Amino acid sequence: MSYARFVRQRGGVWDEFESLLAESRAESLSHASLERLAFLYRQVLHDHAALRHRFARTAAAERVSQLALEGTQALRLEPDDHLVGPGRFFTRSFPRAFRAHAAHLGVASGLFVTAALLAFCMTVLRPGIGLALLPPGAVQGLKEGRLWTETVFSVMPPALTSSSIATNNMAVALTAWAGGVLLGLGALHIVLLNGFLLGALLGATWHYALAGELLEFVSAHGPLEITLIIVSAAAGLGMGEALVAARDRPRREALVAAARSALVLLVGCLPWFVVLGFVESFVSPSPDVAAPLKLALGLALEALFLALAWNPSLNEAP
Q: Do residues 150 and 267 both lie within one domain?
A: yes
Q: What pLDDT score does 162 carry?
A: 82
Q: What is the pLDDT of residues 276-309, one digit of tens each?
A: 999 999 999 998 999 999 999 999 999 999 999 9
The pTM is what?
0.74
C-alpha distances out from residue 251 to 98, 218, 245, 258, Å: 22, 41, 8, 10
Do 45 and 117 sit in the same domain of this protein? Answer: no
Supply the range of the domain harboring residue 67. 3-76
Q: How many structural domains comprise the chain?
A: 2
Quote the pLDDT of residue 140.
87
Banded model confidence at residue 82, pLDDT cuts 50, 70, 90: very low
35-60: average pLDDT = 88
Tell whether 132 is covered by a domain: yes
Establish if 172 belongs to a structural domain: yes
pLDDT one-digit tens code per residue, 227-259: 999 999 999 999 999 888 877 677 787 888 888
Q: How many CB atoms lie within 10 A of CB 211?
A: 17
The reply to whether 86 falls in a domain is no
- Do 11 and 156 belong to one domain? no
In a domain, 17, yes or no: yes
* 44 located within any domain: yes
Q: Is residue 116 part of a domain?
A: yes
pLDDT at 4 over 70: yes
Residue 219, pLDDT > 50, answer yes
Residue (of 71, 72, 52) closest to 61 by Cα position: 52
The answer, yes or no, to whether residue 53 has pLDDT greater than 90, is no
Q: Has residue 316 been placed in a domain?
A: no
Write the DSSP symbol of residue 91. Answer: I
As a whole number, the mean pLDDT across the chain is 87
Per-residue model confidence (pLDDT) at position 190: 96
Which residue, 17, 43, 76, sits at the end of a domain? Answer: 76
Dihedral sign from CA coordinates of 26, 27, 32, 37: positive
Q: How high is the pLDDT of residue 135? A: 78
The pLDDT assigned to 152 comes to 66
Residue 66 in domain: yes
